[in-house]
Amino acid sequence: MKSSLTLIFLVLCSVCSAQDYVDLAKFFYANTPANQFDSTTAETRVQEYGMDVTLPVELKNGNAFLTGFYAESISTKVNPAEPNLTSVYSTMLKLGMNIKHSEKWSGTYLLLPKLASDFKSIDANDFQLGAIALLKYEKRKNLNYKVGLYYNSELFGPFFVPILGLYYLSPNEKLEINASLPISADINYKILERVRTGVSFASFVRTYYLNEPFQGNPDNYLTKSTNEVYGYLQFDLGKSIILQTKVGYSIGRNYRVYDRDDNITWGLSAFKFGDNRKQLNPDFKDGLVYRARLIYRFHLEK
């Protein structure tokens, strides 16, 4: 029930939902307390930071051209016997269209080429190609339903995730629900004029090629997999600047290293078919995650 692109569903801005705003830029930072490896006293932290930029261009016919990019960095220890952290990175372009098919139906279609590795060098192993198709049915101005499919050429093999979701805004605009399951969900409520509180869920699977040999063996890849549940406070620092402070917990978190040729047949959400891979490193335990996001939000005319 995971995808490498939780971020993508949060890209599909107001052109494919009932919300009256577009988040044009997001900057995030996350860190964890020390996490203990299985069967050892060694510990590690996970540190992440990155940015997500979306640039929609509305066309005269009511459609919109979508473009943007995403970049991230992750540092953690994947081998408890090594003193140094392993750092991996990804950069991704977002290219596509939002098309209004009828009064009630619209669709968003994106190509998602990506480089994901330790960036020690760049070659074909670092490249992945993803795509998403998401249809939206507008039931009312404050309620719509979503259905779609995501694909990515992960390093372990072809990976598909079907999506079901909805967006709802209460008539008094205090309660907001935005879900794209099984990938992400967010429920928040306005408690003060400039303060919201909420809970959110995000599920990830991402793979990164390791150009540098692991434990003396060349040609490996790292798989990040985790489900994260958060409680958060959101502060409007100005008309367009928003700060979110989150405290959450990871569930089923792992950073596993495999040989590059050790793959599955294909994956469908939480299910992986033909998975006989041999893990090359131990897992570390689940635990707390602290996250902060700074958002630049553009409000649309109602």
pLDDT tens readout for residues 279-300: 999 999 999 999 999 999 987 6
Q: What are phi and psi of 118, to 5 degrees?
A: -85, 0
Omega of the bond prior to 182 within 30 degrees of 0, cis? yes
**Mean per-residue pLDDT for 107-117?**
97
pLDDT value for 7: 39
pLDDT band for position 82 (cuts 50, 70, 90): confident
Question: Would you say residue 202 lies in a domain?
Answer: yes
**Mean per-residue pLDDT for 184-208?**
96
Q: What CA–CA distances, in Å, run from 68 to 93, 207, 263? A: 6, 21, 31
pLDDT band for position 239 (cuts 50, 70, 90): confident
Question: Would you say residue 275 lies in a domain?
Answer: yes
**Can you tell me the distance from the alpha carbon of 254 to that of 288, in angstroms, rounded to the nearest whole number?**
14
Q: Which domain holds residue 143?
A: 6-299
Question: Would you say residue 95 lies in a domain?
Answer: yes
Q: Is the dihedral of CA 83, 248, 184, 162 positive or negative?
A: positive
DSSP H/E element including 9: helix 6-9
Residue type, 216: G
Residue 138 has pLDDT above 50, yes or no: yes
Residue 10 has pLDDT above 70, yes or no: no
**Can you tell me the distance from the alpha carbon of 223 to that of 210, in angstroms, rounded to the nearest whole number?**
10
pLDDT: which is higher, 64 or 16: 64
pLDDT band for position 301 (cuts 50, 70, 90): low
Quote the radius of gyration of the chain (alpha carbons, Å).
20
**Can you tell me the distance from the alpha carbon of 25 to that of 6, in angstroms, rounded to the nearest whole number?**
15
87: helix, coil or strand? strand
Three-state SS string over 102-148 comes to CCCEEEEEEEEEEEEECCCCCCHHHEEEEEEEEEEEEEECCEEEEEE
**Can you tell me the distance from the alpha carbon of 15 to that of 13, in angstroms, rounded to the nearest whole number?**
6
Residue 4 has pLDDT above 50, yes or no: no
Question: Would you say residue 1 lies in a domain?
Answer: no
| Token pair 């602290």: residue | 290
Q: What total of structural domains would you count in the chain?
A: 1
pLDDT value for 302: 54
Q: What CA–CA distances, in Å, run from 127 to 74, 121, 277? A: 18, 12, 21
| Token pair 């990804």: residue | 90
Question: Would you say residue 56 lies in a domain?
Answer: yes
| Token pair 């060349």: residue | 218
| Token pair 């995501």: residue | 150
pTM of the model: 0.91
